[in-house]
């Protein structure tokens, strides 16, 4: 059992990490929503933002391996789960985010706090899209030029933050596991 002095001395650090994580979540959310607004309202409007959201011509080549391609994804990763509907998917994302905030309150690693914040911010950014449009706005299209391979599915800043953050958590867990066994 910990002595009260140990708990009290850790409280400011835990509180600081909570705020770091929530700050990252807010930053990811704002950047995600800002980029989606720029793409939908300034760059691609009005030709690509009216239903059914999939008209030809909604692609802007930027680099030989990168396009801006406006896609409204009704599902989650790779469009899976699109039949569940935006309210159910939003509810799941909110529930997961609440669980992540509980976890964030208990972390003692700045890296882990930042990664959890990245997932929360990305999840909430995509929830806003689902509630606003009934689907998630994706627009980053990366591919291998001259290849017969299909393009990677379009994604957004929120998706990127989630994927990178999950990778950081996995690597952090592997490194922490090695430290514990050493």
| Three-class secondary structure assignment of 72-93 | EECCCHHHCCHHHCHHHHHHHH
138 is a catalytic site residue: yes
- The reported pLDDT for the residue numbered 9 is 52
Minimum mean pLDDT among 30-44, 67-81, 165-179: which range?
67-81
**pLDDT tens track for 134-175:** 999 999 999 999 888 888 888 999 999 999 999 999 999 888
Measured CA to CA in angstroms, residue 164 lies from 115, 119, 169, 178 at distances of 8, 9, 9, 21
* Catalytic residue chosen out of the listed positions 32, 129, 141, 159: 159
At 48, list the tokens.
């690509």
Contact 136, 155 (CB under 8 A): no
Give the mean pLDDT of the chain.
85
172 included as an active-site residue: no
User: pLDDT at position 127, please?
Assistant: 96
Which of 8, 138, 141, 172 is an active site residue?
138
Q: Which tens digit of pLDDT belongs to each residue from 38-55?
A: 998 888 876 676 655 555
């Amino acid at each position: 059992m910990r002595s009260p002095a140990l708990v009290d001395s850790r409280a400011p650090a835990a509180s600081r990490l909570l705020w770091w994580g929530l700050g990252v979540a807010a930053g990811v959310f704002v950047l995600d929503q800002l980029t989606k607004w720029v793409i939908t309202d300034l760059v691609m409007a009005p030709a690509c933002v009216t239903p059914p959201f999939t008209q030809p011509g909604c692609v802007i080549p930027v680099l030989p391996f990168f396009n801006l391609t406006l896609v409204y994804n009704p599902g989650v990763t790779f469009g899976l789960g699109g039949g569940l509907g935006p309210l159910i998917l939003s509810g799941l994302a909110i529930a997961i985010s609440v669980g992540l905030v509980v976890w964030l309150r208990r972390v003692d690693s700045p890296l882990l706090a930042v990664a959890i914040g990245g997932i929360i911010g990305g999840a909430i950014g995509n929830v806003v899209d689902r509630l606003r449009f009934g689907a998630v706005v994706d627009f980053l299209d990366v591919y291998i030029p001259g290849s017969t391979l299909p393009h990677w599915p379009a994604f957004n800043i929120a998706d990127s933050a989630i994927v990178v953050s999950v990778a950081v958590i996995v690597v952090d867990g592997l490194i922490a596991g090695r430290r514990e066994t050493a």
